Amino acid sequence: MTTSISPLIAGNWKMNGLRGALDEISTLAGLLTTGESPRALVVICPPATILSEVCQLGATSGILAGGQDCHSQAAGAHTGDISASMLADAGAQYVIVGHSERRADHGETDALVRAKAEQAIGAGLKPIICVGETEAQRDSGQAESVVAEQLTGSVPDAAGVHEVIIAYEPIWAIGTGRTPTIDDITRMHASIRQQLVSRFPETGMSIRILYGGSLKPQNAREILSVDNVNGGLVGGASLLAKDFYTIISAV
């Protein structure tokens, strides 16, 4: 982990979580306030239906909230979509954009992801911009070039002035229980850092790079200790307060 950057652990609940799941937020809040003070910023990205409740429950324990996606336009005739300003109005401070599931399921391009990140910044949110390669791309030796292309296309120029977060999630590791080797993670995060510094000489060293993809209590300490890993984007393990707290405590 790059020690000069305060780490961030974000939980992506995806399409999970009815109102009853708010009990897990309450449990997590209790763990964070009664146990050892966390050494990382803690963010939960729940479904939009319970976002405001997560903001309220987390307010006294330091849990921050984020959206899972936002539209590339500020407002308009976009039935079923949610704007960045709506997320901010509900209390969010972060928003995930360009997650591989959005890219795959909805055909989102780098240009669209960039536009969403720009909207997020304009609304005062901090975008968590996701990048990552498929298994076929890694097997063919294209992993770093694919991620580099995604960074170029997805990260707005405003990242040189405003806070953004990069989340590297190898697509083949998401939800599969498989993870890259520590050497693979080290090389990829170093490559991402190099590109950020090259493009943003003044701020590139301070941009957080999160690791995601089957990050769980059993491997969190080892992965989060890797240089240039400045936290994690956690999927399934963030749904249970005790598991998520274990990952937070691994920082």
Distance between CA atoms of 211 and 138, rounded to whole angstroms? 16
Q: Among residues 71, 99, 162, 189, which one is catalytic?
A: 99
8-state DSSP, 41: E
C-alpha to C-alpha distance for 48 and 69, rounded to whole angstroms: 9
Active site residue 149: no
- Active-site position among 71, 162, 169, 189: 169
Picking from 69, 84, 13, 83, the residue whose alpha carbon sits closest to that of residue 44 is 13
Structural contact between residues 210 and 7, judged by C-beta atoms closer than 8 angstroms: no
3-state helix, strand, coil in the chain (%, to 5): 45, 15, 40
CB distance 112 to 148 below 8 Å: no
Q: From 156, 141, 169, select the one nearest 207 (Cα to Cα).
A: 156
Which tokens in the block code for residue 14? 């995806």
Q: Is 169 a catalytic residue?
A: yes
Residue 180: name the closest of 223, 227, 228 by CA: 223
117 contacts: CB under 8 Å, gap ≥ 6: 97, 98, 127, 129, 154, 155, 156, 158, 159, 164
Just list the catalytic residues.
Answer: 99, 169
